[in-house]
Structure 1
Amino acid sequence: MGTVLKALLQERHIQTVSAFNREYDRAALTIDSGAVGAGPKKAQFYRWLAGNISTLPYPHHCRVLQGMFPGWTAAELFSEYNESASLSDRVLNGNLPENGRVERISDIASVFPRRADFLESSSPQDLFRDARTIDLAGISLNILCQQCSDSEVLRMMREGTFIRCLFLDPDGLSIQARELEEGHAPGALTSLTRLNIHMLQRVRSKWKSTMGGNIAIRLYDAPARFNICIVDSEVCVMQPYLPFARGLESPTFVARQNGSRGIFQTFSEVFEEMWCEGTEPAVEQNQGIPA
């Protein structure tokens, strides 16, 4: 079944040994600098996840782990995980006063200082591998168009994945304003966005009626405020577009649907409103394929 530690790492998408040790070292820098670089080797790491240990790890490991997961003791982290239990409230409750703040943010599973850090811990291939629906809104949607190959996107369509992609209009005024804000040469984001749209149109042109999934493409022309990625109406990866900062440099938040009114619900509604207002690309190359 696995330990509470394993469940927490899966929730944060840092369940590989390399991703874990990066987070371990970050925590060790502030807790016990002598532990930097002393994270578990591969075999030891997977024993931790499975609970195949007779005693708790060395004290320096316990100190770092408790720093990584405020509110949890080392003994609790290595206890057997009960799948009916909720982790979110406990993880977030570490140093927060009991005044309702936990409930308001309880659907936030993890926060990363930059999108690049999120991508290091959870690749798009892992995020999308078994997805039934993928909803994307942003500027150029590189998380799909640049991180996943044509063959990977085609596989998703074959296996029944429905993908909705909402791009910032490459012929609109808002993308020009964003180029200036990020300090790009005129046309840089425009060219990239057109390239990504054409990539998806090229893949969509291979659609057949025997495929269970499909791709829909729409455009919007408004200030780019957020990059939104929603998978299976369960997980929302969201980041703001900050002034003067490229998307890779912006904080990234991961929220999970838990049935309550929270971050997930807010950005799910934002996506649906933007999608309804979106328009088809002016030049379609779908060869009669339904959008």
Structure 2
Amino acid sequence: MSGRPILLQILLRQRQWHRYGLFRAAYDDAARRVDRDLVGTAPSRAQLHRWTSGELKRLPYTDHCRVLEHMFPGWTADQLFGPCPDDVLTPPAPGDARRPDGPMADVVAVFPTRADFTGAVPPYDLFDTAADIRAVGLSLNLICQQYPDQRLHGLIEKGTTLRCLFLDPDGEAIRAREREEGYTDHHLIMLTRLNIEVLSRLRARLPDTARDRLSIAVYDETVRFGIVLVDDTTCVVQPYLPQARGVDSPTLLLRRSAERPGLYNTFARIYTELWERSRPV
């Protein structure tokens, strides 16, 4: 082949699936629609590199090709592993209707559950280089339980701003959510209190010059979404479904588009409005 990249490599980058975890999640999502027995058969990281580097001398196995063609409707396997056409290689003008990710409205990945999301996108990947983190939800376990305290302390000490908005453990909304999820032992109330205490202790250990960079607040309204905003570019969204635990709910990963309005702005506005009505802790 010439120096021109293959089509698959470009399409993966356009959809922001070039990171292996995101590719694997998108692959499994397509596999479920093709044949559920193909879920979990994604190529290894090394195989994916060979696929996208143009090193293959023949097409992958037929099942791989079937899934890829489902991931990229309108393209055949032969085209996906061939040179990228000029009209795909050249970025479209802003607002161009041919933009491949136009209909996706900032959505770059969808995961069936929160566990699937954290398996593909570990909290380290989200937070380690973040300068600004804003979060609203119920107990905010992604930050308080799945990201080490010392690591979070180091981020804030070095300049990261963290604002966390919890469902009020003393309010009525969290009791309504417990009834909806079937808890009779105040599990959500105790977990939320614990997580607020975790961040409160962390804030107390920060130097005076860094303490104001960690803000904690509570709100007492029907919980609809868990929202994490990172650096005004990335958003993780999880709806709270009726009679389903948060960990079992689908999770969306959004990347803000500089060219047009999308879902990122919608969820950023929800966060801002809730923060403005919140009570500091």
TM-score normalized with structure 2 length: 0.81
Q: Residue 139 of structure 2 aligns with which residue?
A: 140
CA distance in structure 2 between the aligned counterparts of 1:254 and 1:41, rounded to whole angstroms: 22
Distance 1:36 1:180, change over 3 A: closer
Q: Residue 288 of structure 1 aligns with which residue?
A: none
Write the mapping of 1:54-65 to structure 2, written as runs, cut at 5 A: 54-65=57-68
Q: Residue 154 of structure 1 aligns with which residue?
A: 153
Could you tell me whether the CA contact under 8 Å between 1:108 and 1:253 is conserved in 2? Answer: yes
Could you tell me whether the CA contact under 8 Å between 1:12 and 1:109 is conserved in 2? Answer: yes
Write the mapping of 1:57-96 to structure 2, written as runs, cut at 5 A: 57-74=60-77, 75-76=79-80, 79=83, 91=100
Q: Residue 34 of structure 2 aligns with which residue?
A: 31
Letter matched to residue 135 of structure 2: L
Write the mapping of 1:180-219 to structure 2, written as runs, cut at 5 A: 180-209=179-208, 211=210, 214-219=213-218
Q: Residue 279 of structure 2 aligns with which residue?
A: 279
CA deviation after TM superposition for structure 1 residue 14, in Å:
5.4
Distance 1:50 1:196, change over 3 A: farther
Distance 1:215 1:89, change over 3 A: farther
Write the mapping of 1:173-252 to structure 2, written as runs, cut at 5 A: 173-209=172-208, 211=210, 214-252=213-251
Matched, 1:110 2:115: no
| Unpaired stretches in structure 1, ≥5 consecutive residues | 94-101, 282-291
Could you tell me whether the CA contact under 8 Å between 2:106 and 2:262 is conserved in 1? Answer: yes
CA deviation after TM superposition for structure 1 residue 72, in Å:
4.2
Letter matched to residue 195 of structure 2: N
CA distance in structure 1 between the aligned counterparts of 2:166 and 2:111, rounded to whole angstroms: 24
Letter matched to residue 4 of structure 1: I
Matched, 1:15 2:20: yes
Q: CA RMSD in A?
A: 3.2
CA distance in structure 2 between the aligned counterparts of 1:273 and 1:77, rounded to whole angstroms: 47
CA distance in structure 2 between the aligned counterparts of 1:279 and 1:226, rounded to whole angstroms: 18
* Deviation by residue 1:194-235 (Cα, 9 ceiling, x = unmatched): 100111111111212565983110110111111111111111
Q: Residue 262 of structure 1 aligns with which residue?
A: 262
Could you tell me whether the CA contact under 8 Å between 1:138 and 1:167 is conserved in 2? Answer: yes
Distance 1:135 1:50, change over 3 A: farther
Letter matched to residue 278 of structure 2: G
CA distance in structure 2 between the aligned counterparts of 1:156 and 1:232, rounded to whole angstroms: 13
Letter matched to residue 263 of structure 1: L
Could you tell me whether the CA contact under 8 Å between 2:106 and 2:264 is conserved in 1? Answer: yes
Among 5, 10, 26, the alignment partner of 1:4 is 10
Letter matched to residue 227 of structure 1: G
CA distance in structure 2 between the aligned counterparts of 1:187 and 1:32, rounded to whole angstroms: 41
TM-score normalized with structure 1 length: 0.79
CA deviation after TM superposition for structure 1 residue 12, in Å:
4.4
Letter matched to residue 195 of structure 1: L
CA distance in structure 2 between the aligned counterparts of 1:83 and 1:210, rounded to whole angstroms: 47
CA deviation after TM superposition for structure 1 residue 4, in Å:
2.0
Question: Which piece of structure 1 moves more, 159-168 or 204-213?
Answer: 204-213
Identity over the aligned pairs, expressed in percent? Answer: 41
CA deviation after TM superposition for structure 1 residue 145, in Å:
0.4
Helix, strand or coil at the partner of 1:117? helix
Question: Which piece of structure 1 moves more, 185-194 or 24-33?
Answer: 24-33
Could you tell me whether the CA contact under 8 Å between 2:17 and 2:26 is conserved in 1? Answer: no
| Unpaired stretches in structure 2, ≥5 consecutive residues | none
Helix, strand or coil at the partner of 1:205? helix
CA deviation after TM superposition for structure 1 residue 64, in Å:
1.6
CA deviation after TM superposition for structure 1 residue 38, in Å:
4.9
Q: Residue 99 of structure 1 aligns with which residue?
A: none
CA distance in structure 2 between the aligned counterparts of 1:197 and 1:218, rounded to whole angstroms: 9
CA deviation after TM superposition for structure 1 residue 129, in Å:
1.5
CA deviation after TM superposition for structure 1 residue 148, in Å:
0.7
CA distance in structure 1 between the aligned counterparts of 2:57 and 2:133, rounded to whole angstroms: 42
* Deviation by residue 1:228-267 (Cα, 9 ceiling, x = unmatched): 1111111111121111111111122222211322211111
CA deviation after TM superposition for structure 1 residue 118, in Å:
1.4
